[in-house]
A and B are shown apart, each in its own frame.
Chain A
Amino acid sequence: MAKGDYLGEFEQMVLLALLRLEDKAYGVTIRREIQGRSDRRVAIGAVYATLERLERKGYVVSSISKPEPIPGGRSKKYFHPTDAGAEALRHSRQMMRRMAEGLALDSELEIS
Chain B
Amino acid sequence: MKDVTPPRLARALLSLVVPKHDRIFVLEDLDEEFAVLAAEGRSDRYLRRWYWGQVRSSMLPSLKRPRVPPLRRRTWSNIMHSVIHDVRYAFRTLFRQPAYALTVIGMLTLGIAGNTAIFSVFNGLFLRPLPFPEPGQLVNFDETAPRWDLEYVGMAYPDFDAWREHNESFQNMAVIDGTAFAVTLQGEAQRVTGAEVTHDLAAVLGIRPVLGRNISPEEDRPGGERVVMLGHGFWQREFGGEPDVLGNTLNLDGRPYTIIGVLPPEAVFIKDADLWVPLATDVTENPESWYMEGIGRLKPGVTIDAALEDLTRIHKNMIEDRPVNEITSPVVMPILDRFLGEYRLGTTAMLGAVGMVLLIACANIAGLTLARSIARSREMGIRLAMGAQRRRIAQQLMTESLVLAVAGALPGLALGYAATTAMMALMPDLLPSWITFDMDHRVVLFTLLLTMGAALVFALVPALHASNSNVRGVLQASSGRSTETALKRRSLSALVVGEIALALVLLIVTGLSVLDVRELLKVDPGFTAENVLTYRLRLPSERYGDDEQHIAFFAEHLEEIRSLPGVEAAGA
Contacts and interface: CB of A to CB of B under 8 A. Distances in A.
Interface of A: 26-28, 31-32, 41, 43-46, 48-50, 52, 55-56, 58, 61, 63, 74-77, 82
Interface string B40-70: 0000000000000111111111101110001
Contacts of A77: 22, 25
Interface stretch (B73-81, B331-339, B559-567): B73-81
B25 A27 contact: yes
Question: Interface on chain A toward B: helix, strand, loop, or mixed SS?
Answer: helix
A52 B29 contact: no
B440 interface: no
A45 B33 contact: no
Contacts of A45: 14, 17-18, 26, 54-55, 57-62
Contact of A55 (B29, B55, B62, B70): B70
A89 to B, nearest CB: 18
A49 B58 CA distance: 9
A52 B70 contact: yes
Question: Which of the listed residues B22, B61, B66 has the most CB atoms from chain A within 10 Å of its own CB?
Answer: B61
Interface of B: 14, 17-18, 22, 24-26, 28-30, 32-33, 53-62, 64-66, 70, 73, 75, 77-78, 81
B13 to A, nearest CB: 11
A44 B54 contact: yes
A75 B24 CA distance: 9
A21 to B, nearest CB: 14
Nearest to A46: B61
A61 B57 contact: no
B76 to A, nearest CB: 11
Question: Which of the listed residues A28, A45, A63, A74 has the most CB atoms from chain B within 10 Å of its own CB?
Answer: A45
A48 B73 contact: no
Nearest to B28: A74
A48 B57 contact: no
A63 B81 contact: yes
Given A48-B61, A82-B75, 14 more contacts: A26-B29, A27-B26, A28-B29, A41-B57, A43-B56, A43-B57, A43-B61, A44-B58, A45-B57, A45-B58, A49-B65, A61-B75, A77-B22, A82-B73
Closest 9 CB pairs of A and B: A45-B58, A27-B29, A43-B57, A49-B61, A45-B62, A46-B61, A77-B25, A43-B58, A56-B70
Contacts, number: 75
A58 B73 CA distance: 7
Contacts of B14: 45
Contact of A48 (B26, B55, B60): B26
Nearest to A26: B29
A8 B17 CA distance: 24
Contact of A43 (B32, B54, B66): B54
Contacts of A74: 28
Given A28-B29, A28-B33, A43-B57, A48 B18 contact: yes
Given A49-B61, A52-B22, A52-B65, A44 B70 contact: no
Given A52-B22, A52-B70, A56-B70, A44 B30 contact: yes
A48 B18 CA distance: 9
19 contacts: A26-B29, A27-B29, A31-B29, A31-B33, A32-B33, A41-B57, A43-B58, A44-B33, A45-B17, A45-B57, A45-B61, A46-B57, A48-B18, A48-B26, A48-B62, A49-B61, A61-B78, A63-B81, A76-B28
A76 B75 contact: no
Nearest to A56: B70
Contacts of A56: 70
Contacts of A48: 18, 22, 25-26, 61-62, 65
A43 B26 CA distance: 10
A41 B73 CA distance: 31
A82 B66 CA distance: 22
Nearest to B78: A61
Contacts of B73: 55, 58, 61, 82
A58 B59 CA distance: 25
A79 to B, nearest CB: 10
A43 B65 CA distance: 14
A25 to B, nearest CB: 12
Contacts of A49: 61-62, 64-65
Contacts of B28: 74, 76
A44 B65 CA distance: 13
A76 B53 contact: no
Given A49-B65, A56-B70, A44 B29 contact: yes
